[in-house]
Structure 1
Amino acid sequence: MAHTPYPSSYYAFSANPVPERPALAGEVETDVCVIGAGYTGLSTALFLLENGFKVSIVEAAKVGFGASGRNGGQIVNSYSRDIDVIERTVGPKQAQLMGQMAFEGGRIIRERIAKYDIKCDLKDGGVFAAFTSKQMKHLEAQKRLWERYGHTQLEIMDAKRIREVVKTENYIGGMLDMSGGHIHPLNLALGEAAAVESLGGIIYEQSPAIRIDRGANPVVHTPQGRVKAKFIVVAGNAYLGNLVPELAAKTMPCGSQVVATEPLSEEVAKSLLPNDYCVEDCNYLLDYFRLTGDRRLIYGGGVVYGAKDPANIEAMIRPMMLKTFPQLKDVKIDFAWTGNFLLTLSRLPQVGRIGDNIYYSQGCSGHGVTYTHLAGKILAEALRGQAERFDAFGSLPHYPFPGGRLFRVPFTAMGAWYYSLCDKLGI
């Protein structure tokens, strides 16, 4: 059977040691079969196991193979579309519930790290960096919005203040969120997988789900085995393929590109990010960057719609990195990789149930690190019969892409080009 290894990323290079996990062979029975061993699946499994469920996870490749092990590693609060958009979409009652949950994912991550002693280079502090006065006004409104929902660890920064924490002349100001932060994302996933196994959960790697038999007694089929379960949780996101056609029809995989430099001296690292905060800018097609535990600069950005791998990732990202930090012109890039995330038309996650016993969450739209950990909790709550928070997400509309699957890439790229032009023109 084909073996799918991790991509050649900095995260795979620096991953903590892990045991070999077998592929599924034969038939097993469980309470819940989770499809996908990324953050959504691992978070769901952990919450279920902590509440007495028997859980098996089938993973097409390796734990954290997808976006969970390739992303920028930033703990960013709220959703890809903020709470004010949700207020206009679903009304005040559901929005209040969604707003209360908008900052929970980061707390769950920190709780998991502490409870299960996960070694993943956790650092506190995240910066939203503004290029224009319009973006600063947005950040000031965002601060007021978040504070209305009880989130108070925020500081608006003027030009002088932001240059104290991000040593570049690019930004006119920003907002610091001390409940944000950053982690080694693959090591977080690996630590959560170890926690799943410590509670009796079973993870089968190299075991892609190729078919689901729906009905009162659902079955997940893999190339060499099958899982009979009472419930199924679909948590494959951008790497799910067409396993569940009705989910694939309302989403689009997109690629984000990331590079990691060679290790920097302590002096150079402090000359970039003296407080070791992570940063993302406020553009529609945003850049993001941070330092790793061994003082490399991780720099990411650029979106490829339809998730086709670019021919030369370094050629895409290096100019963006040097525009931010021109002093790195002679620094070598050691790693360059791409990772796919799943985009929805509304930029809001899609949560729901198919029939009586197949649950899903997908479409983080670039805000996956925190949201997926929250998603695991609300999916587990729903399986335990507590569906209020699950239903709040379920009330969000799921729109198909204009033109269907054939035209979703060009239409979305056209929209992104327009917003990118607005960013460049400052309008």
Structure 2
Amino acid sequence: MNALGTRENPGHIASWYAATANDKTVRPSLEGAIEADVCIIGAGFTGISAALELAEKGLSVVVLESERIGFGASGRNGGQIVNGYSRDFNTLERRFGPGIARKLALMSREGGEIIRSRVARHRIECDLRDGGFFAAFTEKQLREFETIKKSCEHYGIDGMEMVGKADVFRYVSSQRYVGGMIDTRGGHIHPLNLVLGEALAAEGFGGRIFENSRAVSVDLSGGQPVVTTAAGRVESRYLLVCGNAYLGNLLPKITERMMPVSSQVMATEVLAPELLDRMLPADYCVEDANYVLDYYRRTSDNRLLYGGGIGYGGQDPENLTAFIRPNMIKTFPELANARIDYAWSGNFALTLTRIPHVGKLSDRVYFSHGDSGHGVTTTHLLGKILGEAVAGHADRFDIWASLPSLPFPGGRAFRVPLTALGAWWYGLRDRLGV
């Protein structure tokens, strides 16, 4: 693993994203007591999305980040714009009824639209590219994609196209797949540069962001919430809790409903452009259909960024490269001798329902977490919805807050082994093709 990211961008892990960040400015830590209309805990996609939404409306906003902007999953993920949620619309309809499913479906593309709108409006340089390919290993997985496509069309969502075996090579030059589905409204980005660009935009509207300012306590006993850090405090009219997998034990009522899960990513050395042109002819991002899936894409400087694997409880394999590399070589044997320049991991927040957990701790304290692996788009949507709720338009917030949230079976002591057992079962089904 190359440690360049740590040296060039202190406070971030040694990732390709940190090494190639456009803005490496370290914001000051909070010192002393300040006031704001809204205090936000967490400077990832959810928190920064809400901060930008509120700052644009003229509210005074303070964001407290324990490390650096985009330090967690928002600055470490695969960089794929995957529309929808971690469960398909048929599942949502069975769980919540057709009325709620339709309302959620109407919002399912908005996260990607928010990203594109902000990139254009604020001129954010984050290597935005259009198009995503979902790859099927088996005919069963291909049929599941057909069902998803029909479900999307039932709810008025277009842009999905089925891909047969003969056309796979238009999107990825690999013998592993029997077909797949493209989403023309998917895409990929440099996620750290996206969240940094959104943070700069929020600051342009008067938002204040403090890094290295971990929230150590939250006092809800008075009329207004008070958040205390090591060297300061923020009193605000409203508090938004957006820490996701990196919230820690600050507010157990939130964290008991989620589990941190790690995903591993690596980036190769710079490859010949003509090689990448052959491997990924359309420059779409790719993810496969397995329960424990692989995902990959081309970077702006001609590397292959390849991710996969999960670690329940946030646990990582001892050697990230050795863990991910074999699948990369199965997909692209021509990369057998390619050097790996960067390897890193990041935690996302998983809920038992695999649906984001959104709600209130009080009339003045809102939260959103648990995007369950679909965070690039849903965090942007839900950050905006948090901002709407604070501004007095809570209709969409109330839809999300009405969805049931369940604790993990066995509590914190057994949530990891029980979830890992379930993942092992589904992984076995993937390997057997059943």
Distance 1:393 1:285 in 2: 26
Question: Is 1:211–2:213 an aligned residue pair?
Answer: no
Question: Is 1:247–2:254 an aligned residue pair?
Answer: yes
What are structure 2's unaligned runs of at least 5 residues? 1-8
Question: Is 1:314–2:307 an aligned residue pair?
Answer: no
Distance 1:129 1:120 in 2: 25
Question: Is 1:373–2:380 an aligned residue pair?
Answer: yes
Partner of 1:133: 139
Q: CA deviation at 1:155?
A: 1.0
Distance 1:341 1:20 in 2: 24
> For the Cα contact (< 8 Å) 1:89–1:396, is it kept in 2?
no
Secondary structure of the equivalent of 2:55? helix
Distance 1:4 1:10 in 2: 13
Secondary structure of the equivalent of 2:270? coil
> For the Cα contact (< 8 Å) 2:218–2:227, is it kept in 1?
yes
Secondary structure of the equivalent of 2:133? strand
> For the Cα contact (< 8 Å) 2:296–2:307, is it kept in 1?
yes
Question: Is 1:407–2:414 an aligned residue pair?
Answer: yes
Q: Which amino acid aligns with 2:156?
A: G
Partner of 1:32: 38
The root-mean-square deviation of aligned C-alpha atoms, in Å, is 1.0
Distance 1:367 1:148 in 2: 22
Q: CA deviation at 1:49?
A: 1.1
Distance 1:164 1:52 in 2: 47
Residue of 191, 204, 207 corresponding to 1:201: 207
For each residue in 1:49-95, what CA deviation from the matched residue of structure 2 results, as whole angstroms up to 9, or x when unmatched? Answer: 11121100000000000000000000000001122211111112222
Structure 1 pair 224/4, CA: closer, same or farther in 2 (3 Å)?
Answer: farther
Q: Which amino acid aligns with 1:349?
A: P
> For the Cα contact (< 8 Å) 2:290–2:430, is it kept in 1?
yes
Distance 1:257 1:371 in 2: 20
For each residue in 1:125-159, what CA deviation from the matched residue of structure 2 results, as whole angstroms up to 9, or x when unmatched? Answer: 00010011111111111111112222211110000
> For the Cα contact (< 8 Å) 2:23–2:193, is it kept in 1?
no
Q: Structure 1 stretch 303-312 or stretch 253-262: which is displaced more? A: 303-312
> For the Cα contact (< 8 Å) 2:259–2:350, is it kept in 1?
yes
Residue of 166, 169, 173 corresponding to 1:160: 166
Residue of 121, 125, 131 corresponding to 1:115: 121
Partner of 1:238: 245
Distance 2:217 2:327 in 1: 42
Alignment of 1:175-324 (within 5 A): 175-215=181-221, 216-324=223-331
Q: How many residues are treated as equivalent by the alignment?
A: 425
Distance 1:221 1:57 in 2: 12
> For the Cα contact (< 8 Å) 2:75–2:191, is it kept in 1?
yes
Distance 2:378 2:85 in 1: 7
Q: Which amino acid aligns with 2:197?
A: G
For each residue in 1:291-335, what CA deviation from the matched residue of structure 2 results, as whole angstroms up to 9, or x when unmatched? Answer: 000010000000011102321000000001001001100110000
Question: Is 1:102–2:91 an aligned residue pair?
Answer: no
For each residue in 1:18-70, what CA deviation from the matched residue of structure 2 results, as whole angstroms up to 9, or x when unmatched? Answer: 33310000001000000000000000011111112110000000000000000
Q: Which amino acid aligns with 1:109?
A: I
Q: Structure 1 stretch 390-399 or stretch 256-265: which is displaced more? A: 390-399
Question: Is 1:42–2:48 an aligned residue pair?
Answer: yes
Q: Which amino acid aligns with 1:72?
A: G
> For the Cα contact (< 8 Å) 1:4–1:61, is it kept in 2?
no
Q: CA deviation at 1:4?
A: 7.0
Residue of 84, 88, 97 corresponding to 1:82: 88
Secondary structure of the equivalent of 1:206? coil
Secondary structure of the equivalent of 1:200? coil
Question: Is 1:11–2:10 an aligned residue pair?
Answer: no
Q: Structure 1 stretch 307-316 or stretch 111-120: which is displaced more? A: 307-316
Distance 1:158 1:303 in 2: 29
> For the Cα contact (< 8 Å) 1:4–1:206, is it kept in 2?
no
Q: Which amino acid aligns with 2:363?
A: D
Q: Which amino acid aligns with 1:96?
A: R
Secondary structure of the equivalent of 2:202? helix
> For the Cα contact (< 8 Å) 1:60–1:207, is it kept in 2?
yes
Q: CA deviation at 1:419?
A: 0.2
Q: CA deviation at 1:347?
A: 0.6
Give the TM-score normalised by structure 1: 0.98
Question: Is 1:386–2:398 an aligned residue pair?
Answer: no
Q: Structure 1 stretch 220-229 or stretch 392-401: which is displaced more? A: 392-401
> For the Cα contact (< 8 Å) 1:74–1:182, is it kept in 2?
yes
Q: Structure 1 stretch 45-54 or stretch 98-107: which is displaced more? A: 45-54
Q: Which amino acid aligns with 1:346?
A: T
Q: Which amino acid aligns with 1:222?
A: T
> For the Cα contact (< 8 Å) 1:33–1:57, is it kept in 2?
yes
Distance 1:19 1:410 in 2: 40
Question: Is 1:345–2:352 an aligned residue pair?
Answer: yes
Distance 1:10 1:4 in 2: 13
